[in-house]
Amino acid sequence: MTYTIRQLSKMFDLPASTLRYYEELGLLTNIDREGTNRIYQQCHVNRLKTICCFKESGMSLSQLRLFLEMEDVPERGSELLTLLNDHAEKIDQQILSLIENRKHIHRKQLYYEAKHKAYLANEDMPEWKSFKEKEIVYNINQK
């Protein structure tokens, strides 16, 4: 199956200019043409899935280019694994940070909910310090 730049753009929610930029950087290669129109193959769809995954997880374009250069070169397997391991560690740190931030937001939600209830019941307002240190076990499915 083949795809036009418009189809790929829509499929990945990327502007066509970004796809052309990825081509310019060498992230997308061996793109056929029919006249002035680019024709993409399934291999380009697969490559874009990788590009989007890595970019969305914070990998820079230069790191991404390095990864794509090394992925089919067995002699560079050690470098490739180092790059991936370092990136995975960075993601793990981001996840931990996000969980801590989410716990703080959850404490704020509990505090302002209690404050609102106290207001409606014409009761004394709660103090933040009783919520600030509250242990929160956050489950991603918790609402």
- Whole-angstrom Cα distance, residue 66 to residue 85? 14
Q: For the chain, which ranges sit under pLDDT 50? A: none
Q: Which domain holds residue 42?
A: 1-59
Any domain includes 81 = no
The pairs formed by 46-50 with CB atoms below 8 angstroms and a separation of 24 or more are 48/8, 48/12, 48/14, 48/19, 48/22
- Whole-angstrom Cα distance, residue 72 to residue 69? 7
Single residue among 59, 77, 104 that ends a domain in this structure: 59
| The total number of structural domains that make up the chain | 2
Give the pLDDT score at 132.
Answer: 81
Q: How far is CA 20 from the centre of its chain?
A: 21
User: Do residues 13 and 52 both lie within one domain?
Assistant: yes
Any domain includes 117 = yes
User: Do residues 105 and 54 both lie within one domain?
Assistant: no
Any domain includes 77 = no
Secondary structure of residue 38 in the 3-state scheme: strand
pTM: 0.80
Give the pLDDT score at 24.
Answer: 95
Any domain includes 43 = yes
